[in-house]
Structure 1
């Protein structure tokens, strides 16, 4: 599986209800999209204690055909026309563990880690387990940066120092 993500940083005074309304109006359009395992519509808000306002969807694709269709067949053009040119980060989904409660997730933490040199990359792949309060975990490897990002999903907002994003909608 592959993952992709882009982060649209918005002005500090941006009315985030515009993003919430946009997702309410159009989020369901990704439900059942070709090769999509899931898409999580994420935001960060200054008013919720984050450093920035942003819209930052996260996609996990079963196959590259659906991802290519989304990017190149006009679907991503909606983002370009609304927010301008965006850099899409692409990564390899190395580990994924979702509970039956995953679709009820309302928050996700994001934690980046360096992938240090090892004799075998297999050694750097963590095994996943879920704590009682977690509804899922996803690890994405970015070999172009030698970095991994771990996303941990929750039904309620965790008390954490990690970057915490709000989930507006999950498509699968």
Structure 2
């Protein structure tokens, strides 16, 4: 499994109802896409939940890299880039993904990107991240919890989907979930 996210930073005075409408109209088009674990159509408004910018930032969980490749090479992504430009697409190898069967009511998402200290034993970090991911679903109230690793920039991602807005950390990016495409 891999995760993927791209983000478009929009002007401070951007009418975010345009993004809401885009999500409402285009979101269902990816429902049932082959090899998709889920796609969370995410947005953030400047000043809300500590966001510094207006953002449109979908997050994907892919069952196989082929699914991500098929999407990126397909007409939906081409339409997106025609409208918003060519984004940097970040990807992470999934260490642990815990998904509740009751994921559909997710209304909020949080994402943390953490730097990995050089020469830290990765197996130890993976074990700790995997345990935290499992605990988020079992006791923390998350509807989905994913941890992943990217070895080019030595970053880790913690992504969570929530029914209610959780306590937010200082460096956590929080989003509203406008639509959730499922397999």
**Structure 2: distance between partners of 1:64 and 1:111:** 22
Instruction: Render the CA deviation track for 1:132-155: whole Å, top value 9, x for unaligned.
Output: 432221112111110101012210
The size of the alignment, in residue pairs, is: 172
SS of aligned partner of 1:144: coil
Gaps of 5+ in 2: none
In structure 1, the gaps of 5 or more residues are none
Q: Deviations over 1:58-94 (max 9, x none)?
A: 1111112221111113221011110011111121111
Which residues of 2 match residues 21-170 of structure 1 at below 5 A? 21-49=21-49, 50-118=51-119, 120-125=121-126, 126=129, 127=131, 128=133, 129-130=135-136, 131-161=139-169, 162-170=172-180
Structure 1 runs (4+) deviating above 3 angstroms are: 117-120
> Under a length normalisation based on structure 2, what TM-score does the superposition of the two structures give?
0.87
Residues of 1 paired with 2:178 and 2:123: CA distance? 34
* TM-score normalised by L of structure 1: 0.93
C-alpha root-mean-square deviation of aligned residues, in Å? 1.5
Query: Matches of 1:123 and 1:47 in 2, distance apart?
Result: 36
Greater share of residues in helix: 2
